[in-house]
Amino acid sequence: MEIMRLLFIFLSSLLLSSVSVSASSYVPAIFTFGDSIFDAGNNRFNKNCSAQADFPPYGSSFFHHPTGRFTNGRTVADFISQFVGIGFQKPYLEAYAEVVNGSQKNYPSNGINFASAGSGILQETNKHLGVISMQEQVQQFEKLVLQNQIDRNLIQKSLFLFESGSNDIFNYFAPSTRPTTLDPDSYVQSMLTEVSRFFNSIYNLGARRIAMFNLGPVGCVPARALLRGAPINRCFGKMNVMVKKYNMGLETMLKDYPRVYRPTVVAYGAVYKIVQELRSVPNQYGFTEVSAACCGAGTLGGMQQCGKDGYKICKNPNEFLFWDSFHPTEHAYEFISKALWAGGTTRIRPVNLMTLANITSN
């Protein structure tokens, strides 16, 4: 079965490459779930939430004003939208507010961004900050589908993007937010169980083209300077070991899915590998600094959030891997997005996003 599927995917991509098709006729919409790697500003519309990036200099490079995105410009979800050839998705809470106050009649036809910065795979992660958990994100989507606010045909053709887990693993090492007494393996297992529930939910709501991204080297973020026991002159190895466990578990789990959930095409994006490539030969990609944050304060620029009292900012964000204490710059996101869109199987497998966007799953 597996071989037949792969053969089918291979043949479809050969066929499609010989026929000239516009990408936008294949993927009309993108639905995005996860954390700050994707968040287009949901938290900004959630006044209860204290995880915010709605102040300068966030947004200074592309939008030229803060949008709620936790970077200087576009996120991975934005770049992928551009590659697909559709407009950026609105944050769900913005679209919701517009429909409720009557300024828009319908929800957008190019998809919706449900991601919430600071959220994790586990429901409890950063709950005290008022973030929208992944489980709530799915409920928001489910409600729209059940109320027929989103066309089912549209959902079938749409691209679904998922990335979460960095906050769960970072918090595991932070005494103040440590969510659990579970040992690392059980903790990772509980994350994977939630991811499988997530997948099952969106499949049942009609998702058929699904890209699930693994986690980057979270142990390398400048914010590790806040953690007792984390080294400064190199990445936090213990944290990266846990990240790799999650990543391996995710890939193993997803391998079975095209057989179990039919018909679907599922791509596994190896973000960890992509970021490590960038870190190993930074010059080749135009980076001069891959450890410290461009914007922040204290050790590695990781002790305080960018834009808060006393922060410093670098001259050229494009030369930095990290924009703030947790998040990559737009330039790094662009590199990651291109690798996911058109990269080979070391970066995303069994198909890249460009192929996922062109082939039909049924």
Ligand X SMILES: *[C@@H]1O[C@H](CO)[C@@H](O)[C@H](O)[C@H]1NC(C)=O
CB closer to ligand X out of 159 and 306: 159
Complete DSSP assignment for 80-133: HHHHHT-PPPEEHHHHHHHHHTTS-SS--TTEEE---TT--SSTTTTGGGT---
Listed ranges 10-18, 199-207, 299-307, 321-329: which one lies at the site for ligand X (CB under 6 A): 10-18
Listed ranges 63-71, 168-176, 182-190, 352-360: which one lies at the site for ligand X (CB under 6 A): 352-360
Please identify which of the residues 327, 331, 337, 361 carries the catalytic annotation: 327
d(CA 251, CA 349): 10
Listed ranges 92-100, 217-225, 238-246, 293-301: which one lies at the site for ligand X (CB under 6 A): 92-100
* 327 in catalytic set: yes
List of residues 6+ apart from 324 with CB closer than 8 A: 70, 71, 222, 293, 294, 295, 296, 301, 305, 306
Sole binder of ligand X in the list 13, 189, 193, 201 (CB under 6 A): 13
166 lies in the site for ligand X, by CB under 6 A: no
* 331 in catalytic set: no
| Residue indicated by tokens 């429901």 | 123
Q: Look at residue 67 and give its three-state secondary structure.
A: coil
Tokens of 125: 């992660």
| Residue indicated by tokens 């990609």 | 285
Sole binder of ligand X in the list 6, 11, 17, 345 (CB under 6 A): 17
Q: Give how far the C-alpha of residue 285 lies from the chain's centroid of Cα atoms, to the nearest Å.
A: 21
The interface with ligand X within residues 94-133 (CB under 6 A) comprises: 94, 97-98, 101, 103
CB closer to ligand X out of 23 and 146: 23
46 lies in the site for ligand X, by CB under 6 A: yes
* 361 in catalytic set: no
* Positive/negative CA dihedral, 22, 26, 29, 30: negative
List active site positions.
36, 324, 327
| Chain residues that interact with ligand X, rule: CB under 6 A | 13, 16-17, 23, 46, 48, 94, 97-98, 101, 103, 354-355, 358
